[in-house]
Structure 1
Amino acid sequence: MLAAGTVAAPASAATPTTAPDTGITVEGRYNMAGAGCHGSDDATDCLSWKVHIPSAIAPWQKPTVTIEADSVPGQWTWTCPSPDRVAGTSTFYAQGGEGAPETKWGDSGLGTSDQLHYNDFGDSAGEVEAVTCTPEHLSLTYKPKFTILWNRSSSFDLDLGATAVSPGTDARSYSFTPTIATSTSSLVLRPTATAQKPAASTPHTTVTTEAVKVDGAARDAGRFTMKAKNDSTTPLSDFTISASRSKGQAQVTALTCDLTAFGGEVVSAKGPAENLKVSSGKAKVPEGKEVTCQVDLTGVVGRNTITAGVTTGDQTFSSDYTD
């Protein structure tokens, strides 16, 4: 679950003032279960603290951003694969053209000297200058290179990996208060973020996708499977499964899900269309069980992204498939 934090007043201010809007923000996320935990297939007890660094903090410069943060005893600890690496990723986003939205250009790990390469030539958009990681404390210095794009905005997301301590089955809140300093400002920032862990009975589904090769298929055809795992202790029922184009020209020609193992039927929708969806009917999916669906595509030319999702109540859980 996500919760965003904003930059608070400068820690070193002689008199309380409101810090200018640097654009640096922090967010917290608790991963209920399934894939998606700092590059691992196991998300059990997984926390992520994201620090968002926009190019507006130092346009056309190469600043350094230093993050210092203690873990919170009894709440969570830092996840350190080694003393000079914290679990997680750095992700670089940039505009494809002036006025266009920012899209992902590349990512890398968060170990000392890790470089984020954003093109086939191995050019670097940012790098980790130094990391010291223990379960109790993290010190990380990152150098974004905002000089590579002169007339377009860009940003970095540093997703810092942590592990929840004895989370239990009830709802719980976790907090993160780093100290952030940049080489281009005398301000020392102390933003605060929280991550909300839902109760184990709260609906939650992990959605994954995987390409399927079809022999003899047309050149512009594609197929993938989507799997939806019920992470909640409550059976998943009254849900909708969808496949929607979010980028490119591809269309969805068919969405088929076999729900017979869960008291339902084989349900399908036919296109071609930008999005298709099917309803669960009488199906009830127990905790830990997985629904499998097949998605067929046409018009797969260039880069295309299809978002596969499961909606239950007012919540949608999704994963992107790129072809």
Structure 2
Amino acid sequence: MGTEQIDLSNEHIRHELAGLLNACEDREPLFHRQISTDELPSLLTDLAAFQLEGQIWRNSSGVAEAFGYLRSFHVNGAVNSDLRFFVDPAIWNDAREGTIFDWGMKLAQAGQAEHGCEVWLYSDCLPTSIWRKAALECQGFAPIRYYYQLERPLQAPIPSVECPAGYRIRPVKAPADLPAWVDLFNAAYGGQWNYVPTTVEAQAALRQDQRYCNRYDLLVVNSTGTPVAFCLGFVLSRGGSPTGWVLEIGTQPALRNLGLGRTLLAALLRRFQEDDLATVRLAVDGENPSGAKRLYENLGFTAISSEIVYGLRLASGPQLASG
């Protein structure tokens, strides 16, 4: 059996990986649709500015029979790594899964050797994915978090929501607004589970994505012009009609419960509606401490699917090891 690194710029490799992914999809749906070759790079990177490590496993005839990819980042003094894996259903449960996990664990644990901190390995799974759940649990992973994907039809009326007195909505002006945007994002998300601080460089790169549209990149500013809430949307076409996605939304913690998030979200929905999109979607942590799920439901979103995050602690940080 041979291995090689994933090169998403190689059209032949993208074709192989899409075929493997869709073979898995036929047996045990994860995305609930077929994935095209051209769509694969954006699906794997998921608009995130993380370093991607990928590996392909080939049989003795040189045919790709499995692949995995790992994204690692620092979170609150720990190294968190996200592992995705796909195996030809014809060889499910033949120990190939263990080979992929060994590879992923070795890469993730390199962070502990370098930084001496706690290391976690995560992997997502749908509740209906019997094979994937069994593979994860066999390696010692356990469910630790639930996420929900919510959807709202844009044919339904959107409530008319006005900004509170002293506040107004405007589009982001990049790059001038990015330092304030980054500070606001980190204040809004800091302390939430698996929070990864963002940077001006990461946000500038995101806004160079060909799918970025400034019309969906909104701020609420106060009377002095200081940003106090943000909302970022994208239009993504993944195996069907273009769909609006709410990627990020947040408010300065001291100004929560003033209705700023609701105002921004309604404004973004209205822009999606004006651009003739049929639906809008978003993902939310089921245990989000800011009550985000209630905000979305109050604006007409309903859950269409859920996802389980499985986790495995690979190494303790110094403070844990000594305790």
Q: TM-score, normalised by structure 2?
A: 0.29
Higher RCO structure, 1 or 2 (CA under 8 Å, sep 6+):
2
Q: TM-score, normalised by structure 1?
A: 0.29
Q: Which has the higher strand share?
A: 1
